[in-house]
Chain A
């Protein structure tokens, strides 16, 4: 069993792992020749299933080998992986490989950092020789060479057998009633964090702060918090409801016609004034706060609403060439009233 790769896009990988880590502490990672799949299934709350094209984060020097069709399944602690990647943020190169240490499997991340000549000269300044501002005098000549430091971060992992992961399946939902391109997540996050705080600050009955998120097929998104003492909502209008691609829908053109969202297009209005045409889900404010963490990736997000049942978010990670082969899918169930 072998896995070795150059981490090409350290910042993206770091942000990606940070987003997953806010959902749960452990990820199931499935690596094969074309994709790296990361799945986080916490005991309760949102699940995330992510598929990364290899070249989104890893470079050309990617090699994988195993007896099971060159597929490797691992269980990885996201907190440790995130810390390890954080130390690679200012590195000029970083690589990752699967290996063993003291009989335990680890993902070993090797990071090459260079400390520039200015830093090296600052270090060589004689003791006590500082200028009036407490700094080190600017040298007239630059140092001869950069210093390279090698940092190795060993993340403990577990290897999962094929049998262990066979029973794990991505959730399946019915066709969504409404699909909509979300506004910039920074906006949505700011509003929903505020709403959650308000919900928490007022006495409420029930298990937790509930946000009500709804959308229609006329570009409206509504965020609402209703408790005993408050009822507040924010509405976004003019958002985009992407057209369904007949090639992707079961049944082709006919499938699109019979699709729930086609029926929903006939209801509601572009200003969201009418009560019909909304697909609504109720979600936990704290849990939603964790999901919004994915905003750091800066990708396009399409939300699919199954009325009173589930919300599915597709977060597209753009690669350098603008392709969107890498997708994170969040499955959020709706609470009943």
Chain B
């Protein structure tokens, strides 16, 4: 049993929305951990190769914040905290319409009050979001969540000797040029420049297929244009373009400097930045190789994950299968209910969400000349292409040296879709 409530003023709510949008690029769910003076919202992607988290401080970020844990702490060392997991899509939609209102017209919502309802006499855990409007209207959203431990990614700061810091707006201007189908990004330091090279590993057999190969984009930025730049020459480190782009886009929305730190390929890379009570941290698994004098291993492992003192078991070292994230402890009551609430979002819908605020290229009026798409304007059809490759959060791995790992989405079949009725799947439990 815990009580948590916090209030967001419009500006903070808009930032909160941006953070959720950013997290949505990594995973369908978001984990929230409340402590006495701060709130952490984070997520781990399905292949456990990318972690994104934001720490929001009180009082800088929240206008009101109160947290009480009614449960007695088990030992003197453990910290008072309460954590749960919620479907990001549900959470984001509660803020989306209100934020849109605020951006277009004059503010109609004065503040958002979020309360967590977790009482023994209630059958379901509820997150209640109230949008208090200035006309005396209050709009209320009730969302279901499940109590779950937060999984953190581990990052060894001491080991990470390579570091660069750059204006995120400058980086964003340039990363917009990566082709939409580019999957991986190689970052390297050569001849006084840091190069960002997007590429896609795809075996091309048929001659005609050559032309379908995506663009390969190289962006070379002079080292002096970085605010800090201490990177080993010839070190190639590879991450996912999609995740990199999400990080840069979010950092640029705050107009802050983005810091990257990493050690070597196959060890995690960390992006971090902060502003006004918000600390952002992204930990991404890397591949790549070191082409300098010494030879380094190039194998790729999933992120080591660290769970805070807890009763759940999480593998600390890795199997190479990139399997499902650890099964969280279900809410105490009605496990079926919460399981349903956390089902997967339909991929097609998720696609629509992720494209909403993604402008890949410089827009100009020239687009008015594009031939109109009569099909989409006049009728809705099924997308029969079945190409969901863009949705995959991390097309693993293959390193530059040609390593590969198992498919990242093996667990899809075993999960229950969000729309499926419990009665339909009763057979699984007898």
- CB-based contact A115/B211 at 8 Å: no
Task: Determine if B364 is an interface residue (Cβ-Cβ < 8 Å).
Answer: yes
Known A115-B173, A122-B255, A149-B174; contact A201-B219, beta-carbon cutoff 8 A: no
In the complex, A124→B167 CA distance in Å? 7
- Among B210, B257, B361, B368, which residue has its beta carbon within 8 angstroms of that of A156? B210
Stretch among B78-86, B115-123, B272-280, B422-430 lining the A interface: B272-280
Task: Determine if A89 is an interface residue (Cβ-Cβ < 8 Å).
Answer: yes
- CB-based contact A80/B371 at 8 Å: no
Question: Which chain B residues in 256-293 approach chain A with CB under 8 Å?
Answer: 256-257, 273-276
Task: Determine if B377 is an interface residue (Cβ-Cβ < 8 Å).
Answer: yes
Task: Determine if B378 is an interface residue (Cβ-Cβ < 8 Å).
Answer: yes
- Among A128, A152, A158, which residue has its beta carbon within 8 angstroms of that of B217? A152
Stretch among A173-181, A230-238, A242-250, A286-294 lining the B interface: A286-294
Shortest distance from the beta carbon of A165 to any chain B beta carbon, whole Å: 15
- CB-based contact B210/A152 at 8 Å: no
Shortest distance from the beta carbon of A292 to any chain B beta carbon, whole Å: 7
- Given A123-B166, A200-B378, output 5 extra A-B contacts at Cβ < 8 Å: A18-B366, A77-B212, A87-B217, A154-B217, A197-B374
Task: Determine if B93 is an interface residue (Cβ-Cβ < 8 Å).
Answer: no
Chain A residues with CB under 8 Å of B216's CB are 101, 106, 153-154
Chain A residues with CB under 8 Å of B362's CB are 86-87, 89-90
Identity of the chain B residue whose Cβ is nearest the Cβ of A135 in the assembled complex: B255
Centre residue among B168, B214, B372 by max chain A CB count within 10 A = B372
- CB-based contact A149/B374 at 8 Å: no
Known A120-B225, A296-B369; contact A149-B215, beta-carbon cutoff 8 A: no
Known A119-B170, A120-B170, A293-B371; contact A87-B212, beta-carbon cutoff 8 A: no
Identity of the chain B residue whose Cβ is nearest the Cβ of A209 in the assembled complex: B374
Chain B residues with CB under 8 Å of A123's CB are 166-170, 227, 257
- The binding surface of chain B is classed by DSSP as mixed
Shortest distance from the beta carbon of B235 to any chain A beta carbon, whole Å: 20
Q: Total number of A-B contacts with CB less than 8 angstroms? A: 144
Task: Determine if A263 is an interface residue (Cβ-Cβ < 8 Å).
Answer: no
Chain B residues with CB under 8 Å of A80's CB are 179, 211, 214-215
- CB-based contact B369/A152 at 8 Å: no
- Which residues of A come within 8 Å of B, CB atoms? 14-15, 18-19, 22, 25-26, 75-77, 80, 83-84, 86-87, 89-90, 101, 104, 106, 113, 115, 119-120, 122-125, 127-128, 130, 136, 147-158, 189, 193, 196-197, 200-201, 209, 285-286, 289-290, 292-296
- Ordered by A's residue number, 16 sampled pairs between the chains whose C-beta atoms are within 8 Å are A22-B371, A83-B361, A89-B364, A90-B362, A119-B170, A120-B170, A123-B166, A125-B255, A127-B275, A149-B221, A149-B225, A152-B217, A209-B374, A286-B374, A293-B371, A296-B368
- CB-based contact A158/B177 at 8 Å: no
Identity of the chain B residue whose Cβ is nearest the Cβ of A115 in the assembled complex: B170
Digitize B161-185: 1 where CB-to-A-CB distance is under 8 Å, 0 elsewhere: 0000011111001101101000000
Chain B residues with CB under 8 Å of A90's CB are 362
- Among A22, A75, A127, which residue has its beta carbon within 8 angstroms of that of B370? A22
Identity of the chain B residue whose Cβ is nearest the Cβ of A150 in the assembled complex: B220
- CB-based contact A147/B222 at 8 Å: yes
- CB-based contact A127/B218 at 8 Å: no
Known A124-B167, A152-B220; contact A87-B371, beta-carbon cutoff 8 A: no
Count chain B residues whose beta carbon lies closer than 8 angstroms to a beta carbon of A: 46
Identity of the chain B residue whose Cβ is nearest the Cβ of A145 in the assembled complex: B224
- Which residues of B come within 8 Å of A, CB atoms? 166-170, 173-174, 176-177, 179, 193, 207, 210-222, 225, 227, 255-257, 273-276, 361-362, 364, 366, 368-372, 374, 377-378
Known A87-B177, A151-B217, A152-B218; contact A196-B167, beta-carbon cutoff 8 A: no
Identity of the chain A residue whose Cβ is nearest the Cβ of B173 in the assembled complex: A115
- CB-based contact A124/B227 at 8 Å: yes
- CB-based contact A127/B177 at 8 Å: no
Centre residue among A122, A149, A155, A158 by max chain B CB count within 10 A = A149
Chain A residues with CB under 8 Å of B177's CB are 86-87, 151, 153
Chain A residues with CB under 8 Å of B273's CB are 127
Shortest distance from the beta carbon of A27 to any chain B beta carbon, whole Å: 10
Known A87-B361, A127-B273, A149-B220; contact A193-B372, beta-carbon cutoff 8 A: yes
- CB-based contact B215/A155 at 8 Å: yes
- Among A101, A128, A130, A290, which residue has its beta carbon within 8 angstroms of that of B371? A290
Chain A residues with CB under 8 Å of B377's CB are 197
In the complex, A286→B377 CA distance in Å? 13
Chain A residues with CB under 8 Å of B274's CB are 127
Chain A residues with CB under 8 Å of B361's CB are 83, 86-87
Centre residue among B174, B211, B220, B275 by max chain A CB count within 10 A = B211
- CB-based contact B374/A196 at 8 Å: yes
In the complex, A76→B167 CA distance in Å? 36
- CB-based contact B218/A151 at 8 Å: yes
Centre residue among B168, B213, B362 by max chain A CB count within 10 A = B213
- CB-based contact A147/B364 at 8 Å: no
- CB-based contact A289/B275 at 8 Å: no
In the complex, A120→B170 CA distance in Å? 8
In the complex, A295→B174 CA distance in Å? 29
- Among A15, A22, A122, A153, which residue has its beta carbon within 8 angstroms of that of B167? A122
In the complex, A200→B173 CA distance in Å? 40
- CB-based contact A158/B210 at 8 Å: yes
- CB-based contact A151/B219 at 8 Å: yes
Known A80-B215, A119-B170; contact A293-B370, beta-carbon cutoff 8 A: yes
Chain A residues with CB under 8 Å of B167's CB are 119-120, 122-124
Identity of the chain B residue whose Cβ is nearest the Cβ of A80 in the assembled complex: B215
Chain A residues with CB under 8 Å of B176's CB are 87
Centre residue among B214, B215, B222, B255 by max chain A CB count within 10 A = B215
In the complex, A26→B176 CA distance in Å? 24
- CB-based contact A156/B213 at 8 Å: yes
In the complex, A200→B212 CA distance in Å? 32
Shortest distance from the beta carbon of A48 to any chain B beta carbon, whole Å: 13
In the complex, A75→B207 CA distance in Å? 11
Chain B residues with CB under 8 Å of A148's CB are 222
- CB-based contact B378/A295 at 8 Å: no
Shortest distance from the beta carbon of A53 to any chain B beta carbon, whole Å: 22
